[in-house]
């Protein structure tokens, strides 16, 4: 019997090392996979039902929520399909990390926005290496 596609999708999303997070139209977390647990330090039981503020640094929240509400109301995002976004994020221990992510909008049966899923990867080490290289290059050019 062929491998069922729904089982394949469930295992893939639940088990992948990247964070997969779904938030409803109000920004409440509805899905949090093992990758999100690993990257952010919150268990699914701790994260599901809570606001995305859990992982958004305080200084970026107003801008995030402005864009999120606009996207939920209009159904349009300024980030196209496949655009890779880079932002700071927060871990449970309060440490800021750098993440890259893509978003996938979810619509209800009537076509209205129901929420957004994001697939996120921790790129902190690479970001820090790039910053060090830039500092080094700037020092050599002086």
82 pLDDT exceeds 70? yes
Tally of domains in the chain: 1
CATH number for position 34? 3.30.450.20
| Residues contacting residue 54 through CB under 8 Å, at least 6 positions apart | 29, 40, 42, 47, 90
The boundaries of the domain holding residue 76 are 5-141
Q: Which two tokens stand for residue 2?
A: 């062929």
Tens digits of residue pLDDT in 49-62 = 999 999 999 999 99
Higher confidence at residue 25 or residue 134?
25
Q: Which two tokens stand for residue 64?
A: 């995030």
Tens digits of residue pLDDT in 84-125 = 889 999 999 999 999 999 999 999 999 999 999 999 999 998
């Amino acid at each position: 019997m062929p491998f069922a596609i729904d089982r394949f999708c469930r295992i893939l999303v639940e088990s992948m090392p990247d964070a997969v997070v779904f938030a409803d139209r109000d920004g409440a977390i509805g899905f949090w996979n093992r990758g999100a647990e690993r990257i952010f330090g919150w268990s699914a039981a701790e994260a599901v039902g809570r606001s995305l503020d859990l992982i958004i640094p305080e200084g970026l929240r107003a801008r995030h929520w402005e864009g999120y509400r606009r996207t939920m109301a209009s159904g349009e995002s300024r980030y196209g399909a496949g655009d890779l976004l880079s932002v700071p994020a927060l871990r449970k221990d309060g440490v800021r990390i750098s993440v890259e992510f893509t978003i996938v909008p979810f619509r209800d049966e009537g076509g209205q926005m129901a929420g957004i899923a994001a697939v996120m990867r921790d790129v902190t080490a690479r970001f820090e290496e790039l910053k060090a290289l830039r500092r080094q290059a700037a020092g050599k050019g002086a």
